[in-house]
Amino acid sequence: MASYPQNFRFGEFVGSILWLVFWVLIIVTLVGLPLVFIVLFYVPLPPIGDEVLTPYLFLTMVVDPSRTIPIVEHLMTTDLFRVAVFPGFTYGALIGGLTIFIERKFLAKMQLRVGPLYAGKIEGIFQLIADGLKLIAKEIIVPSGADKPIFWAAPIAFVSVSAAVVTLIPVAPGWVVADLDVGLLAVFAILGFFPLIALLFSWASNSKYPFIGGLRALHQMIAFEIPFILSALSVVILSGTLNLTGVVEAQLQSYWFIFFVPISAFVFYISSLAELERIPFDLPEAESEIVAGWLTETSGMIYGLLQLGSYIKTYALAALFVVLFLGGWAGPQVFPQEFHTPLVDISPLYDPVAANATLWFTLKTFGMIMLFLLPRGISPRIRIDILLHTGWYKLIVLTFINMFIALALIYGGILGPGGLLVR
């Protein structure tokens, strides 16, 4: 069990926190606010109601909570908010970061350990922040023979591609960054970049162990990409659309597709584990065989960015499973139609339908994330020949079986337009 150092003094800890807060206030007051005010003179501000928004009025609204609501309401309708905050990068990154903490505690409980405990009085809740600050402070070591432009660019590309997948996932009715008619095809097209980035990064590291890991990632992608796509094809047959929002709406009109094509859901789950390089399909990293695989030469925030991208990708694939097989945001209404606070009227920002949809979508997504984490505590790593045989032979056969079942449901009049189970 973790223990606190003997020379720890709570008073000194509180004093250091207050000293940090003091300097943050000083920097914000003397540097942050003047910079914001200068920027506001050069950024075109939108009209709020009948008022023309000026920098002075903007700062007044920020200070006055009752006048801040129109600004927030306007910002929530912008594309920048959707891309950067919700349901885009920040939302995915928060879930990804929380997944890191949950995984460490979850696996510790499975193995009768304590898990992270020191940073934070309650279950080590600040361990994630402590690890993030540690990665930021650590030196980034670039191998002497590395291809430096690719070595620096690959982690940024990895996070960017993960965020690109998140932009295609509908979280609630109307809340999706890019609602494409071929959204499902776009998801698989973007996912194809991950093993290529891993291979490029491993080659740029100029080290044999990363390169072996990169080659394994490429073999793994080729073996599981076809059953991965075919497992989603059953859902396309049942819903009649490649649009992810349309897939959710089709399930709202009948029942969750996991009840009709459970084999496809199973294949999608197994292929997602392979795509995420999680146990038992973690051969591209394989610590006991090739040090850390394609991550061997990473350090500092290069490692941090790759881990962030991996966990955002975990959220994206769990959310995609929810959209395809678990009805997306479908769930009973638990939020009241009206919500009032004693100080500020937030009714312009409150949408009970969107709030309820986001709640159920998030809960289902976390449930799937837990299923992605579970094999790490109970399964060993499989051999690469078994991995390739599983992808090329067993999973492809299973997906074809479920495709025939999906076609039988459509042509038998059970699902589809006018089907028996369509509400």
Which residues of the chain, if any, have pLDDT below 50? 1-2, 4
Six token digits for residue 370: 């837990």
Instruction: Give the pLDDT confidence score for residue 333 in this predicted structure.
Output: 86
Instruction: Give the pLDDT confidence score for residue 361 in this predicted structure.
Output: 94
Residue found by looking up tokens 């501000």 in the block: 45
Tell me if 217 sits within 8 A of 284, measured CB to CB: yes
Instruction: Give the pLDDT confidence score for residue 46 in this predicted structure.
Output: 64
Residue found by looking up tokens 């009709």 in the block: 260
- Helices 300-325 and 127-137, axial angle in degrees (round to 10): 140
Please give the helix or strand (H or E) that residue 289 lies within, else none: helix 287-290
- Tell me the pTM: 0.83
Encode pLDDT of 167-195 as tens digits.
Answer: 999 999 988 988 888 889 999 999 888 88
Instruction: Give the pLDDT confidence score for residue 363 in this predicted structure.
Output: 93
Instruction: Give the pLDDT confidence score for residue 119 in this predicted structure.
Output: 73
User: What residues are paired with 51 via a beta bridge?
Assistant: 48
Domains of the chain, by residue range, sit at 20-77, 140-411
Instruction: Give the pLDDT confidence score for residue 2 in this predicted structure.
Output: 47
Instruction: Give the pLDDT confidence score for residue 389 in this predicted structure.
Output: 81
Six token digits for residue 374: 């579970």
Query: Residues 234, 369, 311, 73: what is their CA dihedral angle, to the nearest 10 degrees?
Result: 90
Residue 264 to residue 247: CA distance in whole angstroms: 15
Residue type, 201: F
Residue found by looking up tokens 């494409």 in the block: 180
Instruction: Give the pLDDT confidence score for residue 8 in this predicted structure.
Output: 55
Encode pLDDT of 278-319 as tens digits.
Answer: 888 887 777 777 777 778 888 888 888 888 889 999 999 999
Instruction: Give the pLDDT confidence score for residue 212 in this predicted structure.
Output: 84
Tell me if 163 sits within 8 A of 82, measured CB to CB: no
Tell me if 201 sits within 8 A of 214, measured CB to CB: yes
